[in-house]
């Protein structure tokens, strides 16, 4: 992963021009210096986002444990966790 102070290498899909986008554009779009097209700058989600996802999954796991102990069924707990984790997965993949 590039360090925050360095540019991020990107390639324009329209004209194949390879250039470096400013580090501040991580996760956004840069303008191709040749054809001005908007080019996505990869960078993935930020650490704070993953911390929130981890927190969300922890809450789901605790809820699943609660469901399992209240119902006396391990499968009810597994089902609750699978449902919560699937919703989290849909939200993350749609973003």
Partner 1 sequence: MTTALAKHSVLELDKLRIRKNFWTIFGAKFRIFDMNEGLVATSKQKAFKLKEDVRVYSDEAMATELLTMSARQVVDFSASYDIVDAVTGEKVGAIRRRGMKSIFKDEWVILDVEDVAIGTIKEDSAGLAFLRRFLTNLIPQRFEISLDGEPIGTIRQFFNPFVYSAIVDLSADRERKIDRRLAVGAVVLLLAIEGRQS
In the complex, the residues that contact partner 1 under the rule CB under 8 A are 14, 22, 24-31, 36-39, 45-46, 48-49, 52, 91-92, 94-95
Residue 61 interacting partner from partner 1, Zn ion, none (CB closer than 5 to 8 Å by kind): none
| Shortest distance in whole angstroms from residue 26 CB to partner 1 | 7
Helix axes 47-71, 74-93, angle to 10 degrees: 160
Q: What are phi and psi of 22, to 5 degrees?
A: -60, 145
Residues 7-26, one symbol each (x = binds Zn ion by CB under 5 A, - = not), give: -----x-xx-x---------
Residue 81 is classified by DSSP as H
Q: Which residues are bridge partners to 11 per DSSP? A: 18
């Amino acid at each position: 992963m590039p360090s925050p102070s360095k540019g991020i290498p990107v390639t324009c899909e329209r004209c194949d021009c390879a250039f470096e986008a400013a580090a501040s554009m991580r996760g956004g779009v840069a303008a191709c210096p040749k054809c001005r097209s908007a080019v996505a700058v990869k960078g993935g989600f930020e650490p704070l986002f993953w911390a929130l996802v981890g927190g969300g999954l922890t809450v789901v796991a605790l809820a699943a444990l609660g469901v399992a102990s209240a119902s006396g069924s391990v499968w009810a707990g597994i089902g609750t966790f699978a449902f919560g984790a699937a919703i989290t997965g849909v939200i993350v993949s749609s973003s």
